[in-house]
């Protein structure tokens, strides 16, 4: 969740700076500003998903191996443990 919040804040700051530098009338003619704005948000969302998967993946793989010691060690603090 934190990467997503940081990404939205950085994208908003980028948009504000772009408006201050280019002005609102010239901002409409530059498509790259929108591309960068949405790319920042998209990268932040992708990092949030990777972070969530990385927290769950070791626990799920240890459950597939049926190794009791790995399950106890990796699934103890995992948000995906059942």
pLDDT tens digit sequence for 11-62: 999 999 988 888 877 777 778 888 999 999 999 999 988 887 777 778 777 7
User: Is the Cα torsion angle 7, 9, 14, 15 positive or negative in sign?
Assistant: positive
Q: Please count the structural domains in the chain.
A: 1
- pTM for the full model? 0.66
- Tokens 């626990």 identify what position? 59
Domain contains 12: yes
Owning domain of residue 24: 2-74
In this structure, is residue 81 part of a structural domain? no
Question: Considering the domain boundaries, does residue 30 fall inside one?
Answer: yes
Residue 20 lies inside a defined structural domain of this protein: yes
- For residue 15, being part of any structural domain is answered with yes
Neighbours of 49 (CB within 10 A): 12
Is residue 35 assigned to a domain?
Answer: yes
Q: Which two tokens stand for residue 33?
A: 């500003």
Residue 7 lies in a domain: yes
């Amino acid at each position: 969740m934190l990467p997503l919040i940081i990404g939205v804040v950085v994208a908003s700051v980028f948009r504000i700076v772009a408006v201050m530098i280019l002005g609102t009338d010239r901002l409409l003619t530059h498509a790259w500003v929108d591309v960068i704005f949405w790319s920042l948000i998209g990268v932040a969302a992708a990092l949030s998903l990777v972070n969530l998967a990385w927290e769950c993946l070791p626990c799920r793989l240890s459950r597939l191996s049926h190794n009791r010691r790995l399950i106890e060690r990796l699934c103890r603090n995992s948000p995906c443990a059942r």
